[in-house]
Amino acid sequence: MKVEMFSYIRQVAASECVIEIETRDVKSLLHYLSALYGDSFRKMIFNEDGSLNNLINILINGQNIILLNGLNTELKIDDLVSLIPFVSGG
């Protein structure tokens, strides 16, 4: 699958905006990326209790994982996963 990262997530991921990897579900993917990119990435994605940070949108082929099976959403080889932080401003 392809994983695309936006905004400050991309900065923590050493400026890689799209990578290709294989994992079985969203949770495994996020743990893999946390190991790959380190503590800064993990703290951005997960809260201290291990739950998903609600300031990050995760889309699978354009559909939010909240509407699917959350962190347990299964991934296929041809999926596009997008990690998008909420943006605010005025």
Please tell me the distance from the alpha carbon of residue 8 to that of residue 28, in angstroms, as a whole number: 21
Residue-number span of the structural domain to which 66 is assigned: 2-85
Nearest to 58 by CA among 50, 46, 43, 40: 46
Res 15 pLDDT > 80: no
pTM of the model: 0.89
Instruction: Say if 90 falls within a structural domain.
Output: no
Instruction: Say if 73 falls within a structural domain.
Output: yes
Instruction: Say if 74 falls within a structural domain.
Output: yes
**Which pLDDT does position 88 carry in this prediction?**
73
> What tokens were used for 45?
């994605």
CATH number at residue 44: 3.10.20.30
> What tokens were used for 34?
């946390």
Residue 29 DSSP one-character state: H
* Three-class SS state of 74: strand
Split into its structural domains, the chain has a count of 1
Chain centroid, CA 52 distance in Å: 10
Once rounded to an integer, what is the mean pLDDT over residues 33-59? Answer: 93
Res 79 pLDDT > 80: yes
pLDDT band at residue 8 using 50, 70 and 90 as cut-offs: confident
